[in-house]
Amino acid sequence: MNKPGHLTNQTKAGLLFAAPWLIGFAVFLLFPLLKAFYNSFTEYTILTPPVWIGFENFADIFRDELFWKSLGNTFYYAFIAVPVSTVIAISLAMLLNTKVKGQAFYRTFFFLPALVPAVPLAILWLWLFNGEAGIINAIIEPIFGIRPNWLGDVNLAKNILIVMSAWGVGHAMVIYLAGLQQVPIALYEAADLDGASPLRKTFQITIPMLSPVIMFNVVMAIIGSFQVFTQPYIMFPGGAPERSTYFYSVYIYDAAFRDNRMGYASAMGWIMFLIILVLTLTAIKFMDKKVHYESN
Amino acid sequence: MAKRTLSQQNLLSVGAIHLVLGLLSIVFLIPLVWMISTSFKTVEQASVFPPVWIPDPFMGGNYKEAWEYGKDQLGGVAPMLIYARNSLIVCILAVTGTVISNSIVAYSFARLKWPGRDLAFAITLATMMVPFPVLMVPLFGLFKDFGWVGTFRPLWIPAWFAGAFNIFLLRQFYRSIPMELSEAAKIDGCSEWGIYSKVILPLTKPALAVVALFSFMGTWNDFLAPLLYLQQQETWTLAIGLQAFRSQAGGAPIHLQMAASTMVVAPVIILFFFTQKQFIQGIATSGLKG
């Protein structure tokens, strides 16, 4: 932009049209990201200016049991909820793709839960898993003769969030269904001529042809589930029972806005960013070798 | 298109698929049915075990009670009315900004040539990896310096500056429109703005509808940002109000919680039924073009 006279009309127009984002990127993304990086080496509250303390925050974080606990819970959630939801989403999509009558109705039924906003979702599932009068126990008790205390049991509580994520697979299901409809029928016809079993067709045609879609959506889902906040924040205040549902985002929020340790929270934020970066790049690298891309 | 040969074996497997799909539909719908059922029960019936499915008596008045619950704190005005109004204001401002800004920016990335464009686009895509919690603290400081904390501004002004996901989605769409259209308009003497607003924009209405829908959903559902910036009860959105409804002062009884939750879910589901086609297509496009 230093020599406006030399810019072509297209360049001028291009930059002008892109300006909202270039400004937004600088102000609402790059600046806070760099500021958080700087702040992670400082100690400050919302009212006092940052004081440089070097790597002390990071040293403290790695000694902080609660950090490891929340990180562990978050990994547990991301690495169980995402694969479980993905398998369910693909299975539902494949069932719908059999083109049975009423496909649109079934698709709507499976999709509806994905529309429920996070806050009513959390309130509803607290009620469903209520140990005294919840519908889950009303179904389980006659069959298994037990009435688990879902919300209060250290080993059970986390898994409620995984069930909730599995319930909301509608979004992913719609994507996989669209992906399945792009798989050329000719491939299945050829396999039929060779007498391939349905199972073999699934693993040798469907899944490989779907793999770029799976990769993209799994990566996005992992990034998303790493930031899970609203449901645990509402359902399990303080990560009860015994911090078993204390998640990384909730800890960052608490460190910053409850304990007023802004530097510490910034350092935790940057660690989260680095973890997501590493996970995403690893996933892309790993999938690049395995994923089948259509030549286009 | 799948092959449809009506051998007996096929009939059998079609029946089995219907059975499986039907059972799964029930599993997926039970929680919602249960929410609605509880919302019409008396407080006693809401928590009997084993549970009752059909409310008896049928308490339609629960909705009025939930709507007005805690109105004494707000000088007699129904809190849900205030929350709904706030959510609507934020949604309208955010959706308008999202549609306008992303449409313009995506046009630049898709149909204009400028030095550094492809690098800028790669960086734009990479920003999808930046988690919100890392930005949360500095953004709060920034908005505090702007004097925006306690107002709706942090919730909608950033929406007017576009975002990676929507740029990406719209760019795909803009690129599918033949360049010849733009060239013809240029020969006719159209400026870039003219080409964008008169030629391309009218063709992209379906894609913009999708962006508007997603943006509405995202804003309506958002909990963390309103939690950070809105302290006064008069400024709360539905997400914050509903959470307070459950947690504050011992919390509202469960049948009212379910009625209030149903009222927050219902607009989204109604919107979905009216826009189902765009909705489903929009989701499919957003996930496929990766």
Using CB atoms, pick whichever of A32, A99, A175 lies closest to residue B288: A175
Q: Considering the domain boundaries, does residue B87 fall inside one?
A: yes
What mean pLDDT, rounded, does chain B reach?
A: 91
For residue B263, the model assigns a pLDDT of 96
**Confidence tier at B50 by pLDDT (50, 70, 90):** confident
Encode pLDDT of A74-98 as tens digits: 999 999 999 999 999 999 999 999 8
Q: In chain A, what residues touch B290 (CB-CB under 8 Å)?
A: 212-213, 215-217, 220
Same structural domain for residues B62 and B76? no
Which of A234-238, A240-244, B6-10, B60-64 shows the lowest mean pLDDT across its residues?
Answer: B6-10
For residue B194, the 8-state DSSP code is H
Tell me which of B251, B267, B285 is where a domain ends. Answer: B251
Beta-carbon count within 10 A of A69 CB: 18
Same structural domain for residues B163 and B243? yes
Taking CB atoms and an 8 Å limit, are B287 and A108 in contact across chains? no
Task: State the burial class of residue B258 (Cβ atoms within 10 Å of its Cβ: 0-12, 13-18, 19+).
Answer: buried
Q: Where are the beta strands (DSSP E) in chain A?
A: 42-43, 51-52
Question: What percent of chain B stands above pLDDT 70?
Answer: 96
Tell me the domain boundaries of chain A. 38-115+169-290
Taking CB atoms and an 8 Å limit, are B133 and A14 in contact across chains? no
Q: In chain B, what residues touch A119 (CB-CB under 8 Å)?
A: 221, 223, 238-239, 242-243, 261, 264
Q: Does pLDDT of A230 surpass 80?
A: yes
Q: What angle do CA A110, A245, A272 make, to 5 degrees?
A: 90
A260 backbone φψ class: left, alpha, beta (φ>0; ψ -120 to 50): left
Same structural domain for residues B175 and B215? yes
Same structural domain for residues B95 and B206? yes
Question: What percent of chain A stands above pLDDT 90?
Answer: 68
Number of folded domains in chain B?
2
With a CB cutoff of 8 Å and minimum separation 6, the contacts of A206 are A94, A180, A183
Q: What is the mean pLDDT of residues A272-294?
A: 81
The tokens 């629960």 sit on which residue? B62
Q: What is the mean pLDDT of residues A43-65?
A: 94
Q: In chain A, what residues touch B105 (CB-CB under 8 Å)?
A: 17-18, 20-21
For residue B290, the model assigns a pLDDT of 45
Tell me which of B68, B99, B114 is where a domain ends. Answer: B68
How many CA atoms lie less than 13 Å away from B43 in the CB half-sphere? 7
For residue A58, the model assigns a pLDDT of 97
- Output the six-digit token pair for A226: 């790493």
- Output the six-digit token pair for A148: 């688990």
Locate the chain B residue with the closest alpha carbon to A215. Answer: B290
For residue A290, the model assigns a pLDDT of 65
**Confidence tier at A292 by pLDDT (50, 70, 90):** low
Of residues A292 and B92, more confidence is placed in: B92
For residue A124, the model assigns a pLDDT of 96
Using CB atoms, pick whichever of A13, A98, A110 lies closest to residue B17: A98
**Confidence tier at A295 by pLDDT (50, 70, 90):** very low
CB contacts under 8 A, A 152-171 vs B, are 167, 171
- Among B44, B137, B153, the strongest candidate for a mutation testing the A interface, having the largest count of A CBs within 10 A, is B137
**Confidence tier at A268 by pLDDT (50, 70, 90):** very high
Question: What percent of chain A stands above pLDDT 70?
Answer: 95
What mean pLDDT, rounded, does chain A reach?
A: 91
Taking CB atoms and an 8 Å limit, are B28 and A110 in contact across chains? yes
With a CB cutoff of 8 Å and minimum separation 6, the contacts of B214 are B166, B282, B286
**Confidence tier at A296 by pLDDT (50, 70, 90):** very low
Same structural domain for residues B110 and B212? yes
CATH assignment of the domain containing B189: 1.10.3720.10
Same structural domain for residues B76 and B220? yes
Encode pLDDT of B205-222 as tens digits: 989 999 999 999 999 999
For residue B23, the model assigns a pLDDT of 95
Structural domain range at position B32: 9-68
CATH of domain A38-115+169-290: 1.10.3720.10
State the Cα–Cα distance between residues A46 and A53, nearest whole angstrom: 17
Same structural domain for residues B157 and B239? yes
Beta-carbon count within 10 A of B14 CB: 16
Q: Considering the domain boundaries, does residue B167 fall inside one?
A: yes
When mean pLDDT is compared over A141-145, A163-167, B76-80, the highest value belongs to: A163-167
Using CB atoms, pick whichever of B114, B167, B283 lies closest to residue A10: B114
Q: Considering the domain boundaries, does residue B265 fall inside one?
A: no
Using CB atoms, pick whichever of B134, B258, B288 lies closest to residue A33: B134
Locate the chain B residue with the closest alpha carbon to A192. Answer: B3
Q: What is the mean pLDDT of residues A112-140?
A: 93
Q: Does pLDDT of B286 surpass 90?
A: no
What's the pTM value of the predicted model, to 2 decimals? 0.92
CB A178 within 8 A of CB B288: yes
Q: Considering the domain boundaries, does residue B274 fall inside one?
A: no
Q: In chain B, what residues touch A106 (CB-CB under 8 Å)?
A: 21, 24-25
DSSP for A46-93 reads: SSS--EE-TTHHHHHHHH-HHHHHHHHHHHHHHHHHHHHHHHHHHHHH
For residue B1, the model assigns a pLDDT of 43
